[in-house]
Structure 1
Amino acid sequence: MDDAADTATGQDRRVAALVIGAGPAGLMAAEALARAGLSVLLAEAKPSPGRKLLMAGKSGLNLTKDEPAETFLAQYEEAAGPLAPMLRAFGPAEVAAWAEGLGQPVFTGSSGRVFPRAMKASPLLRAWLARLDAAGVRLETRWRWAGWRGESAVFQTSSGPVSVLADVTVLALGGASWARLGSDGAWADTLRAEGAAVAPFRPANVGLRVEWSSHMARQFGQPVKGVALCAGGRQVRGEFVVSRRGLEGGAIYALSRPLREGAPLIVDLMPNRTEAEIAERLARPRGKASLTAHLRKTLRLQGPRLALLYECARPLPQGAALAARIKALAVPHGGPRPLDEAISTAGGVDWAGLDAGLMLTARPGVFCAGEMLDWEAPTGGYLLTACLATGRWAGQAAARRQAALAR
């Protein structure tokens, strides 16, 4: 269909394909639809596209993770089943090739994480938008989706309400974190009203609230390295940062699910030594040295690790009991930080309400992609890869439906 007049003349704009949301999933859906030869209107509520992508790239844009397919898929837990065909079709190797096709060479770090050599997201986003523009994708910003009126999608824009009648629509509206960047979850009630099941949003990849004593103030901003963490039977090695409001960082984010479900956080301050080895070192004569000095000398336990021990185990026990605390330090916490502070969210459109092409069974012709689907994964490239993969999958399925309708 060609574009026609808008609601200013009492008519809908008509397009073959409408994509709502210009984050990674929406941009990828638009690209898939344009490749299929469809005219595509891409609507974004914010003044510019890809805002969360740009924020993610401020500390180095982690595109994906180079690891075996089964290891990669396992990071998505119960959502790995429905996501599997999408991630097999567009997984780590395909993401890297896609970025290089945009003129952004990539490299793989020692941990397997894949980054563009430029590290930033802005060069990749500029190249991507240029390619979409050349393919005929029309981007409209400051268009906030307000649901449907009949078959037409309704938008509030700076020039007044606009409605769009599309053969197919892909929703890529994000989760419910970082509302200032565009993901506010406001779409959930609209879809529920249409009969779609939407699981409640929950914070994922989020900091942990801890009420510190004044003694911890000097540790704020300090990384805690060389430790292992356990929550809810899940164990990770990594590092985290002591902040004024609690704990932040990759090792904490990896345990988001059990921690938000109320599991205690247990930290092994010396994972490379057994409890018996620590007890033996603690038993060495210390003379007139203080316990703090003894811990530093015999175990090299100092800085934020030592501060955590005093904070969470005071008064410190002696001998074997102290060794046991060092190996399994319980850190009292108040659960995750608020939803809007999370890097990502769990919850969203229930898989049972989608067909194999990510089309809503409650609203045929409307597809969903990205973080608005009910899945979660740790940071490390998994989030972006799944957003790209589901956007591509939904866009391709929508193109096939439009082609069938046009016959």
Structure 2
Amino acid sequence: MKTVSDRSVTELAAEAGELNHQLIHALEQAGRITTPEIAAAFRATPRHLFVPDVELSEAYKDDYQPTDRDGDGRLLSSVSAPWLVAQMLEYLRPQPGNSVLEIGSGGYNAALLHQLVGDAGAVTSIDIDPAVTSRARRCLRAAGLEDAVRIVTGDGAHGVPDAAPYDRIEVTVQAAAIEQAWLDQLDPKGVLVVPLRVRGLGRLVALTPNGEGHYSGGGWLPCGFVAMRGEAASSTRMHALTPGARVRVDGTQPLDPEALAKALDTTGTPRWSGVEVGSSEGTRPVIDLWFATVLDTYGTLLTDPKESALRALPGGTPLTWTTDSTAAAYVTMRPVEEKSDRYEYGVILHGDDQALAETLVESLREWDRDHRGRPGPVLHVYDEGTDPATMALGRSLERPGAPMVLTWPKS
């Protein structure tokens, strides 16, 4: 098998150009690239130079490429999938002449940012791992962009204050919080794009200043990134329960894994809501966010259907439990009879707390009545020290750093 480094310059130029063209066309067809300037940046940036150790066709696949793992095989760094890189740039919309801070250095995205802001702009990229920044420099040098991007080794939670303010800040690692340093370093007319952990859910959000000390926005594209390290490391925990079942919990919610496992080992009782959805509506990510907002006790139940009889939804489903963890309820779905493309949301209760199941069923109906088909939630972020009485009414997210509130407007 020939890797990128095995091929001649002429071979690479011709084949890489065609592969890149096919990739960009696919991203445009899928609606991931909608801006001509972003398409042009992709055309001007040979992706294979940033993943030189894989086969050329792999370099242009619409998938992430791992670049480093720890001794246990856990991913430490990667070059993100092109669809996600493109989507983040669409959220960010950098303009010629902008000053941009990238938190998390892979090299490829920084090169795209340089193409978008031009020589009149400035791109600064920071990463906590010296191996990552060293690799980014090598790849940028191979692309002839060594002097076009400033690479800094340090904890991205602090930003890079000496080049602030930034017109755009793009975080390319999974963040557990919005850091006050990012807000302090963002221009009053700027944009901050962050793949954020919201009660354990990975979602891409775009924030803009909305008055002094207040930032708001949304987006909510489901996404997965390598987690931040250092001071801003995630507080998400994973607990094994019954065979083939785990629960992912964020923050310091009360949870007794042993008692919860015993509860889930009992026979579950279904309760159906009457809320029907189409298979192509894409309601699952919205429902997850809805329950992450309305439930005081919230986690994501993940199961392996080969090992577990629990009727959790693929990819994880909202789960809640009593204070003592002796009863639990989770969201599920069933096909609607005689309607091949329709499904009904419901709840499975384990234990004797009927009110627990009723709360979830009524919440499903409330979402259906008041929020279905509407824009979705808004994330409000405030400077540290803001009086809570002046904040929006909604779910206050348990986080260090800048206070965050999640709301669901009805119109």
More strand by share: 2
**Shorter-chain TM-score tier:** under 0.3
**Considering only CA atoms, is the larger Rg found in Structure 1 or Structure 2?**
1
TM-score, scaled relative to structure 2: 0.28
More helix by share: 1
TM-score, scaled relative to structure 1: 0.28
- Greater relative CO (CA pairs within 8 A, separation 6+): 1
